[in-house]
Amino acid sequence: MKISHNVVVWGAAILITVNGFFPALWILFTALKSETELAHIPITWLPQAPTLANFISAFSEQPLLRFTLNSVIVAAGSTVIAVFAGACAAYALVRLRIPGRGLVLSTLLAVSMFPLIALMVPLFQIFRSLHLLNTYMGLILPYSVLSLPVCTLVLISFFQDIPADLENAAMIDGCSRLGALWRVVVPLSTPGILTAALLAFVNSWDEFLLALTINTRLSMRTLPVGITLYQSEYADRWPVVMAALVIAIVPVSLLIALFQDRVVGGLTQGGLKG
């Protein structure tokens, strides 16, 4: 009984590990292979003579650093806006009894399920007339809205757990409502703000459809779109594509691995695009 249970546990652990990590491992293996080794048939699984040449090509064939910088700027900018607007809204919805509360919540939930394509078509035209195509703002603004629902929902559940008495006490001691918000609620909800920020950042970092359409100038491309460019310009450049993928994946994976509990908690609370 004991042994068979152990077998099940080990089997489960191995299955999950292989399922989760194999594609990432294959990306890395491919990135480390030379062009001659790659063309070898039958294919090798482990790289026989690992080389960093593909990483050098990844940076020289396309402006990979620029793509990364663009992604960071767009993701960071939209995260700041989404968390700020989401925190304000969440606080108003939790603490201040205002009419129209249900409407705001339903709108937010509806936006989280919104078909992006229905937003992309009009935004492309509007941004064209406002000269927002090929600018950071052209992506920061829509990404802020895409992350607004999850930020608001995550922060609502955090604010609900902060006892109102703490704020009342601060207000009796002479704080204004805003003062209490700043001195009591914000410090206590740092974990919630961190969770919301992580989810918003990942949301923006991953987005493809709008980035593909709104920022078409090479110097304004974000990582997800930029990485598809290696493939279309050179036919069999898989090792270089995979090297670029490694560069694109590692920083965010580390961030998520580091703050895993926050991400999982936020995911199961807020509901998020899969």
| Min separation Cβ 60 and another protein, Å | 20
- Among 64, 67, 238, 247, the residue binding another protein under the rule CB under 8 A is 238
Residue 92: which region, alpha, beta or left (left: phi > 0; alpha: psi -120 to 50)? alpha
User: Residue 171, interface with another protein (CB under 8 A)?
Assistant: no
Rank residues 107 and 219 by Cβ distance to another protein and give the closer one: 107
- Among 53, 76, 119, 188, the residue binding another protein under the rule CB under 8 A is 119
| Min separation Cβ 173 and another protein, Å | 17
CA 131 centroid distance within chain: 26
User: Residue 41, interface with another protein (CB under 8 A)?
Assistant: yes
| Min separation Cβ 65 and another protein, Å | 18
| Min separation Cβ 156 and another protein, Å | 7
User: Residue 164, interface with another protein (CB under 8 A)?
Assistant: no
How does 13-29 read in b/e, with b if 16+ C-beta sit within 10 Å?
Answer: eeeeeeeeeeeeeebbb
Rank residues 38 and 73 by Cβ distance to another protein and give the closer one: 38
59-118: which residues touch another protein (CB under 8 A)? 81, 84-86, 88-89, 91-93, 96-98, 101-102, 104-111, 113-118
Rank residues 53 and 120 by Cβ distance to another protein and give the closer one: 120
Cβ neighbours of residue 44 closer than 8 Å, sequence gap 6 or more: 33, 37
- DSSP type of residue 257: H
User: Residue 137, interface with another protein (CB under 8 A)?
Assistant: no
User: Residue 131, interface with another protein (CB under 8 A)?
Assistant: no
Query: CA dihedral in degrees (250, 255, 257, 260; nearest 10)?
Result: -150
184-213: which residues touch another protein (CB under 8 A)? 202, 205-206, 208-209, 213
User: Residue 134, interface with another protein (CB under 8 A)?
Assistant: no
From the list 20-28, 61-69, 161-169, 186-194, the region that binds another protein by CB under 8 A is 20-28
From the list 36-44, 50-58, 62-70, 187-195, the region that binds another protein by CB under 8 A is 36-44
| Min separation Cβ 250 and another protein, Å | 11
218-237: which residues touch another protein (CB under 8 A)? 224-225, 227-228, 231, 236
Angle between helices 260-270 and 137-160 (to 10 degrees): 90
**Rounded Cα–Cα distance for residues 166 and 43 (Å):** 64
Give the C-alpha distances (Å, rounded to integers) separating 250 from 139, 144, 272: 23, 24, 22
- DSSP type of residue 131: T
Rank residues 52 and 273 by Cβ distance to another protein and give the closer one: 273
| Min separation Cβ 188 and another protein, Å | 17
Residue with structure tokens 């064209």?
Answer: 128
CB 225 within 8 A of CB 207: no
Identify whether 63 is preceded by a cis peptide bond (ω within 30 of 0).
no
Q: Max Cα separation, the chain?
A: 77
Length of the chain: 274
